[in-house]
């Protein structure tokens, strides 16, 4: 834990320790209690899920609007926003830090897109780097579509309730179809130390003569859980996987020069680190699935982990960059 916190923070932490230590102890009691509950919830949801009639898609293109890595002339950020386009329409998946950062607006302009043509928005989970900034996370309120240059009254698919004034908000309580021929796994849960039980949905596509494509925001519920749900929903081989995996093994991204990502959102207490063994387990899950294409997000995964994944996965691997478009 020492290497995850800047040295200048330690005097303040020492001063705060009479309050901080009891708080962490109480949080740990809740965390340990909810660990088993998260596993039970996912098992029940997978066991009771019914197949969904995903249409066969001829093509799926992904334009990356917000990511840590970026093409020349674009801005990078430790957040996510992807535009999915199929022959049946388009779906904006997450909005990064929204209008709380210039990244999304700059990159949309730079790539020459008109978000006024978007058919719907889906939010993977209610964390600031996906739903429009930390204020949005704190208030559980999405930015106005007008502020994002998106028409009002479009569907906004949420994994759990949040205020979404100007949107036609729909809570995705279970797996189902969304927009543009794409589907959702429905919310899957991970117990996170500071955030408690965190609901996250992933995007599904059925590609003609290829199989399933699955895209996550952060992948908090783990790839293994997402794949188990996908197999339950559609008996097709997994052809492609993309998005976040949350493997800040050696460092975190952004956030004031700290390594907070190494302590927050890992599914472990803040004094335990994500390890090589954890990454090896995910590599094994991906390789065992037979996935052929992998599109990795760098917004929550360090360079060391990306390097290991690039070399150890049997699939064709791409690192997602803001400003680039990928054909799945």
The residues near 46 (Cβ < 8 Å, ≥ 6 apart) are 225, 228, 229, 232
Counting as low any pLDDT under 70, the low residues of the chain are 1-23, 255-258
Task: Using alpha carbons, list the distances in angstroms from residue 279 to 217, 220, 225, 259, 274.
Answer: 18, 13, 15, 18, 8
Asked if the structure places residue 9 within a domain, the reply is yes
CATH number at residue 258: 3.60.15.10
Asked if the structure places residue 314 within a domain, the reply is yes
Asked if the structure places residue 328 within a domain, the reply is no
Start-to-end CA span in the chain (Å): 38
Range 67-78 burial, b when 16+ CB lie within 10 A, else e: bbbbeeebbbbb
Quote the pLDDT of residue 90: 98
pTM (predicted TM-score): 0.93
Quote the pLDDT of residue 4: 56
Asked if the structure places residue 103 within a domain, the reply is yes
Range of the structural domain that residue 23 is part of: 2-48+56-322
Summarize pLDDT for 178-194 with one digit per residue, the tens.
Answer: 999 999 999 999 999 99
| Residue 239, CA atoms < 13 Å, CB-side half-sphere | 16
For tokens 């760098």, name the residue.
Answer: 298
Quote the pLDDT of residue 25: 76
Query: Which region, left, alpha or beta, applies to residue 300 given φ > 0 means left and ψ of -120 to 50 means alpha?
Result: alpha
Instruction: Give the count of domains, the chain.
Output: 1
Q: 328 with 292: CB under 8 angstroms?
A: no
Asked if the structure places residue 31 within a domain, the reply is yes
Summarize pLDDT for 198-217 with one digit per residue, the tens.
Answer: 999 999 999 999 999 999 99
Quote the pLDDT of residue 2: 47
Asked if the structure places residue 178 within a domain, the reply is yes
Asked if the structure places residue 327 within a domain, the reply is no
Summarize pLDDT for 141-181 with one digit per residue, the tens.
Answer: 999 999 999 999 999 999 999 999 999 999 999 999 999 99
Nearest to 158 by CA among 139, 140, 134, 182: 140
Asked if the structure places residue 12 within a domain, the reply is yes
């Amino acid at each position: 834990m020492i290497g995850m916190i800047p040295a200048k923070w330690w005097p303040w932490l020492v001063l705060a320790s009479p309050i901080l230590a009891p708080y962490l102890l109480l949080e740990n009691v809740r965390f340990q209690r909810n660990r088993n509950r998260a596993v039970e919830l996912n098992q029940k949801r997978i066991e009771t899920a019914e197949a969904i009639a995903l249409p066969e898609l001829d093509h799926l293109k992904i334009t990356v609007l917000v990511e840590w890595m970026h093409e020349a002339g674009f801005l990078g950020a430790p957040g996510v926003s992807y535009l999915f386009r199929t022959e049946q329409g388009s779906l904006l998946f997450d909005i990064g830090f929204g209008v709380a950062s210039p990244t999304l607006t700059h990159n949309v302009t730079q790539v020459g897109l008109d978000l006024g043509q978007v058919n719907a928005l889906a939010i993977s989970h209610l964390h600031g780097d996906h739903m429009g900034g930390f204020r949005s996370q704190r208030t559980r309120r999405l930015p106005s579509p007008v502020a994002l240059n998106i028409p009002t009254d479009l569907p906004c698919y949420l994994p759990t309730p949040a205020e979404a004034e100007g949107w036609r908000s729909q809570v995705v309580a279970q797996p189902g179809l969304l927009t543009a021929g794409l589907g959702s796994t429905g919310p899957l849960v991970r117990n996170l130390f500071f955030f408690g039980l965190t609901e996250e949905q992933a995007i599904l596509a059925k590609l003609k003569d290829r199989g399933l494509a699955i895209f996550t925001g952060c992948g908090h519920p783990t790839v293994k859980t997402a794949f188990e749900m996908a197999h339950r929903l559609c008996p097709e081989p997994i052809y492609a996987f993309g998005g976040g995996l949350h493997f800040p093994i050696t460092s975190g991204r952004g956030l004031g020069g700290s390594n907070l990502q190494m302590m927050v959102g890992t599914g472990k207490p803040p004094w335990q680190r994500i390890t090589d063994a954890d990454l090896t387990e995910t590599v094994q899950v991906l390789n065992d699935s037979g996935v052929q294409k992998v599109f990795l997000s760098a917004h929550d995964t360090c360079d060391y982990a990306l390097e290991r994944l690039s070399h150890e996965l049997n699939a064709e691997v791409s690192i997602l960059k803001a400003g680039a478009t990928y054909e799945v």
